[in-house]
Amino acid sequence: MMGKSQLTLYEESITGEDEEKAKQVKKLLIEYADIFSKGPDDLGRTDDLGRTGLVKHHIRTTDGPPIRQRPRKLPHVLREEASRAMEEME
């Protein structure tokens, strides 16, 4: 038996698939039911399955100091193509 969230996952997964694929997905969801979320209350989850309320982070997107890194070497297979591109830009 599948929970509500598994049923939703099942329905989203089989959209546009044939009956054999739907059976395989259902079997997989039932066989591994213990590792799928049962609902939004699992482990402090928010209302959106696949998102967590346990970990928060901030991504800085403005005016941060530049990161200094050494240039990376170009793989040999791409060097000729890069040279041609550089010549075209001149």
| pLDDT one digit per residue (tens) for the chain, 90 residues | 666 777 778 888 888 889 999 899 888 888 888 777 666 666 554 555 556 667 788 887 888 787 888 888 999 999 999 999 999 998
Say how far apart CA 25 and CA 42 lie, in whole Å. 22
Q: What pLDDT sits at residue 39?
A: 64
Domain positions in the chain: 1-53
44/53 Cα distance (integer angstroms): 6
- Rounded distance, CA 77 to CA 2, Å? 50
37 neighbors 5 (Cβ within 8 angstroms): yes
Whether 22 contacts 14, CB under 8 Å = yes
Taking the whole predicted model, whether its pTM rises above 0.85 is answered as no
